[in-house]
Amino acid sequence: MRSVSLLSPAKLNLFLKVLNKRPDGFHNITTVFERIDLCDVIRLKLNTTGAIRIHCAHPHVPCGPRNLVYRAARMLREDFKVKDGVDIYLKKNIPVAAGLGGGSSNAATALKGLNRLWKLDLSLSRLLPYARRLGSDVSFFMYDCRWALGTGRGDSIKKLAISTKLWHVLVVPCLKLYSGEVYGGLGLREGRMKMLTKRSDNATIFIRRLRQADIAQIGYGLTNDLEDVVLRLSPGVGKLQQRLKSLNTQGVMVSGSGPCVFAIVGTWRQAEAVRAVLARRFRRTFVARTL
């Protein structure tokens, strides 16, 4: 095998509760991940120079050591004494720094692809430590699942056997939000617990609603402890949410640390109708479904 091509999907967080700040500076969370069919494409091709080369036309994607894909390749090559290099071609369809996990997904997809390309034959349990070193969301994308419960930093993953598929409209406004700034806006001190959501906002209850496929109840149960900080930092996101709510959607929320705002709708036809309205003002507007 000289090359391999893989899809690299995005994610949404339909439930995200922040518990406390950890000694390592991260936060303990409970989150429900959904994999969606908005995907980047990654092609990995062996080269004999020993070099790791990233090729990407997106102006905001670094092609050197700051890229998580590059770091994933470098870690595996160094630890397993791989002599071959690799050219990695990355076609970006997932908006960058939007709360959709594009960079984390790319890193996980690279780990899986390089495991095949370099014939390392590593199990999932041996690849997961690399995923955790690369970032909190990377572990989720290592699992082949539509739905998962994330705990710890979000890197301890439990696959959820849920058959429900949802239709979404995603809108990514043209603004920059950094996850560190958003989490910092919570004002949590190390080790101290803080109730940020109602006691009824429980992941177990939300997962039950997902299994029942009751779209109205799923929309009602959407939870994101980071949302208030996002709206405080970027009031325009709140106006976008209100616009989405006015278009007969079943639930609207910020994904992760934003700025992507997503809505749940009942059908593809409804999703396309909402997207068409919002696309007149917002260039980055997508229809997506659970993958």
Residue 113's domain is classified under what CATH number? Answer: 3.30.230.10
pLDDT tops 70 at residue 91: yes
Structurally, how many domains does the chain consist of? 2
Tell me what pLDDT residue 179 has: 82
* Per-residue exposure over 168-195, b if at least 16 CB sit within 10 Å of its own CB, e if not: bbbbbbeeebebeebbeebebeeeeeee
Spell out the residues 6+ positions from residue 56 whose beta carbon is closer than 8 angstroms to its own.
63, 89, 90, 91, 92
3-state secondary structure of 83: coil
Last residue of a domain, one of 160, 193, 218: 160
Average pLDDT rounded to a whole number, residues 109-124? 98
- Rounded to two decimals, what is the model's pTM? 0.93
173/254 same-domain check: yes
Question: From CA 226, how far away is CA 183, in angstroms rounded?
Answer: 7
88/225 same-domain check: no
133/198 same-domain check: no
Structure confidence at residue 119 as a pLDDT band (50, 70, 90)? very high
What does the pLDDT look like over 3-31, one tens digit per residue? 999 999 999 999 999 998 888 888 999 99
pLDDT tops 70 at residue 99: yes
Tell me what pLDDT residue 191 has: 55
189/136 same-domain check: no
pLDDT tops 80 at residue 118: yes
pLDDT tops 50 at residue 200: no
Tell me what pLDDT residue 201 has: 59
CATH number for the domain harbouring residue 272:
3.30.70.890
pLDDT tops 80 at residue 254: yes
247/111 same-domain check: no
* Neighbour tally for 260: CB within 10 Å: 27
What DSSP character marks residue 199? T
Question: From CA 7, how far away is CA 110, in angstroms rounded?
Answer: 10
Tell me what pLDDT residue 259 has: 94
Taking the alpha carbons at both ends of the chain, their separation in whole angstroms is 27
Catalytically active residues are: 11, 137
What does the pLDDT look like over 61-90, one tens digit per residue? 999 999 999 999 999 999 999 999 999 999
Tell me what pLDDT residue 196 has: 47
Last residue of a domain, one of 160, 195, 217: 160
186/219 same-domain check: yes
For 84, the token pair is 């071959």
Tell me what pLDDT residue 176 has: 78
Tell me what pLDDT residue 192 has: 53
Domain of residue 53: give its range: 3-160
